[in-house]
Amino acid sequence: MQAGQDEYIASLLTAQEYAKRHGQVAWLSSKQISIVKLAPIKGTYELVPYQLSDCTRVTYKRDWHLLKLVSGILLVSLILFIFYMLGNYGVASNTTVHVGLLALALGYGVRWTWGSRRHSLLFEMKDGSKLRWKSGVGEFAVKRISVDKVRDFAYARGLLKGAA
């Protein structure tokens, strides 16, 4: 890369996600951070650039989406309780138990529990503003490459703070 050229680093949002994830970081280059903002015309958005030279700190965290995590744990607990009750107390002879549906619900509960991990990036600017990005639920593995590129770039610039 020549001095003065703007090099693309990573895209954190796809164009399809812009409408749903306004206010978040869309992509990062060596000179600017682009944020998705709602445009004055209803239903549209615009990308607002911020200079990367104004960024003083980048914080990375791995966290959990609490609602999905709790929902998954509750669903798994309920299904395991139902299996326990069926195993210990049985059912009346004319009762039909759809074990496949219970197993399907158990699978959903496990997926919600383990799929609730997400990445979180916080860009702190000189003027005190904070630019945020969080991956969606279930996107932890999908967004890992882009997040790693941003983390490596921020580390090389001496901006990265937080979990490695």
**What's the whole-number mean pLDDT along residues 2-17?**
84
Number of H helices, E strands in the chain: 3, 8
Average pLDDT, the chain: 88
Domain residue extents for the chain: 8-64+116-162, 66-114
- Percentage with pLDDT > 70 across the chain: 96
Secondary structure of residue 136 in the 3-state scheme: coil
- Angle, CA of 36, 114 and 104, to the nearest 5°: 110
Q: Over the stretch 117-156, which tens digit does the pLDDT of each residue have?
A: 889 999 999 999 999 999 987 788 899 999 999 999 999 9
**What's the whole-number mean pLDDT along residues 51-61?**
93
The model carries a pTM of 0.76
Residue type, 10: A
Give, in words, the CATH class of 8-64+116-162.
Answer: mainly beta
